[in-house]
Amino acid sequence: MNVIEILRQTLESFRAHKMRVFLTMFGIVWGIASVILLVGLGRGFSVDSKKRMQTLGKDLVIVWGGRTSSQVGGLAAGREVSLTIEDARLVRDECYQVKNVSPELRRSVPEVSQFNSANRGVVGMWPSYQQFRSLLLSEGRLLTEEDEREARQWTARGGCRPLHQGSSLHRDRCAAEEETKFQLQRAG
């Protein structure tokens, strides 16, 4: 059997079984398209995930208190371990490979108006926090070590966008944007 005979028999088989040939070709195209689509989605999710992680900060380790899992030194298992400002100072002063340290203190502050009330989240941190977290500044300046030393009463507030009229705490005000942009303002 030579090549010409093989091609002739192949074409005759294609003519005799058109539906089978069509379904086979369609299956091959569908499979290739599915693989390309899934690889593209996977790469897109990977890139998006990396971008979101970069907004957290670079070379970042977050440590928080918790509960002990076992009994040690005569103390009961499950006791609460809380971190203090002194712990952050010790890490800053004693761990020579740590570049920056900043404790985060999170509290809810009640806010009340004639229209509504809400608890707003407030975060306190050291100025070094801004060096390893990805904070975007829309205008003004970031907090400085001098602000911290002199206990200046400044606040970094998020940018604003109008809220839905029915859900706003203050009808003439706005809420923080999902994008984290900050502006330094005198508190009070």
pLDDT digits (tens, 9 = 90+) for 117-145: 888 887 778 887 777 776 666 666 777 78
The predicted structure's pLDDT at residue 173: 40
Q: How confident is the model at residue 105 (pLDDT cuts 50, 70, 90)?
A: confident
Phi/psi at 119 (5° precision): -105, 120
Looking at the whole model, is its pTM more than 0.85? no
> Taking 90 as the threshold, does the pLDDT of residue 32 lie above it?
yes
Contact 131, 100 (CB under 8 A): yes
Q: Which residues contact 126 (CB under 8 A, 6 or more apart)?
A: 88, 101, 102, 103, 148
The predicted structure's pLDDT at residue 136: 67
Q: How confident is the model at residue 66 (pLDDT cuts 50, 70, 90)?
A: confident
The predicted structure's pLDDT at residue 168: 40
> Taking 60 as the threshold, does the pLDDT of residue 3 lie above it?
yes
Question: SS3 string of 46-63?
Answer: HHHHHHHHHHHCCCCCCC
Please classify residue 48 by burial: count the beta carbons closer than 10 Å to its beta carbon, then call 0-12 exposed, 13-18 middle and 19+ buried.
Answer: exposed
Please give the C-alpha separations between residue 50 and each of 45, 74, 157, 160, in angstroms, as whole numbers: 9, 44, 26, 26
Work out the percent of the chain whose per-residue pLDDT is above 70. 76
Q: In the predicted model, what is the mean pLDDT of the chain?
A: 76
